[in-house]
Chain A
């Protein structure tokens, strides 16, 4: 394959998504021009606002604040959720003792806890971080439990009859076998953490969420759209990073004979 051909193929591959997104922008523009969408600004004002806002330090500060709000709780959710999930999936007694309480708490949308959490914890930021933690915690723990439960009995037996002790079995079989599910849980957890983070930030007035809401109340409409798009981009990037990191560690799932 010549170099020229390679480049052609790359460009052709890009055309379709670009065309799609262009289509979206065109539809957006048309809707605004037709007056069908109230006060929604069109693409052009948003681009103009973006150019102004990208170097804006206030925006940067908001972004950094949001990352702080999500980074610590997420890691905590992983560090707590994975071992707990393994314990619940592995040991029936532990499962019966712990899981029912979790199941009672789970259906509550994390954001609904916000008022209580703000009252109970000393600072608002801690409250937000707790909500984010909850958002990530449940998917992580559920996927871990499912991963452990679905391990084929025989793998465990194979290692047992090679003379493995219980902790060796957990280390050599349970954890690696459950890793794909754990990975999925971590990706989903990051997504839900982000969703809950933004909601909490908007209501409690911190970080990027606050920036969006302030733009709304001060009627800076293009800013609203800009910040929302930034939120989307950051959320996407965060999930992809988690996915990519996982794929690096899980090389063995990709190969097939």
Chain B
């Protein structure tokens, strides 16, 4: 095709030739979007639509947030940092365990027919069980609440990572394997130079999904049990009708969730430079 049609031009020219909206800079529109969102929030609280009057306005929430960051205690005598630390620790630990176990298993089940036929079906059976449903089981089977939460996070992240890794292996073209073999490579070389690099993008995708589910799991698990943590303090504050803390808790959770997904993607891009688009 022709040289320099950027994607954006293609979109606007072919699709919106009839849209004669005077061009407003995009950042203005995006700012407008966020602005509208905050405005709606404010109005709803002021009006007291449904139960909104129980919540705090954006301004009050911002003030609360800053005071917590400054060190004021959130709930049960702990600062925001303590709660965040505990939750983060659980997510990182659970996710780490998941990555370390799911990737080798995924590779094995993707590569070897024996594993695929004899080991995988058992996992397939356990996979549909939602992570949170494991909470009571973990609580009665494992020694402590902490271990129970770790287990739930682990199991939430485990399956997406394993499945995506498996599918990544399945996609490998036989020809790549043949190419390495004809260069004199043995099985180990095959893994190192073909299987693992080729499967990396899928592993990254799986981990990104896993991170998302890990956060859902940790929040739900913390809401159901005790001990410091963001989910825990959010729920406790709800019980005590301290809605300021509730909203702040949600914002912090969202921020961490976004940051961790973003982090995983960055690491992923760094590890897989060949998948990035080449600009000429």
A and B touch in the complex (CB under 8 A): yes
Contact with B along A203-216 (1 / 0, CB 8 A): 10000010011011
Q: Which of A39, A96, A228 contacts B26 (CB 8 A)?
A: A96
| Main SS at interface, chain B | helix
- Is A57 close to B, CB under 8 A? no
Task: With CB as the reference atom, state the residue of chain B lying closest to A237.
Answer: B128
A107 to B219, CA, bound (A): 13
* Chain B: CB-nearest residue to A239: B128
B258 adjacent to chain A (CB < 8 Å): yes
Q: Does B34 contact A (CB under 8 A)?
A: yes
**B47 contacts the other chain (CB 8 A):** no
List the B side residues contacting A91 at CB < 8 Å.
15-16, 19
In the assembly, what is the distance between CA of A105 and CA of B254, in Å? 8
A249 within 8 A of B: no
B250, A38: Cβ atoms under 8 Å? Answer: no
Q: Let me know if B30 and A116 touch, CB within 8 A.
A: no
Report yes or no: A122 in contact with B51, Cβ–Cβ below 8 A.
yes
Asked if B132 contacts A108 (CB within 8 A), the reply is no
Cross-interface CB contact of A24 among B24, B125, B133, cutoff 8 Å: B125
Could you say which interface size class chain B belongs to?
A: 35 or more
Interface residue from A37, A98, A153 paired with B10 (Cβ < 8 Å): A153
5 A-B interface contacts by CB (under 8 A): A104-B254, A111-B223, A112-B250, A221-B140, A235-B130
Evaluate whether A99 and B33 lie within 8 angstroms (CB atoms) in the complex, with A107-B257, A108-B254, A153-B14 already known: yes
Report whether A232 and B133 are in contact in the complex, using a CB–CB cutoff of 8 Å: yes
Q: Which of B34, B142, B249 contacts A100 (CB 8 A)?
A: B34
Q: How far is the CA of A96 from the CA of B19 in the complex (A)?
A: 15
Asked if B121 and A17 make an inter-chain contact with CB atoms under 8 angstroms apart, the answer reads: yes
Q: Given A16-B117, A228-B129, A104–B34 Cβ distance below 8 Å?
A: yes
Asked whether, in the complex, the Cβ of A112 is within 8 Å of the Cβ of B133, the reply is no
Give Cα distance in the complex from A157 to B15, angstroms: 9
| B interface residues with partner A (beta carbon < 8 Å) | 8, 10-12, 14-16, 18-19, 21, 24, 26, 29-30, 32-34, 36-37, 50-52, 54-55, 117-122, 124-137, 139-143, 212-213, 215-216, 219-220, 223-224, 231, 234-235, 237-238, 243, 246-247, 249-251, 253-255, 257-258, 261
Interface size, chain A (Cβ < 8 Å): 67
> At the interface, yes or no: A6 with Cβ under 8 Å from chain B?
no
**In-complex Cβ contact of A233 among B30, B128, B139 (8 A):** B128
Report how far A122 CA is from B14 CA in the complex, Å. 47
Report the bound CA distance from A104 to B254 in whole Å. 8
A92 adjacent to B16 (CB under 8 Å): yes
Given contacts A115-B246, A232-B130, 7 further A-B contacts (CB under 8 A): A16-B118, A101-B36, A108-B250, A111-B220, A221-B140, A235-B128, A235-B129
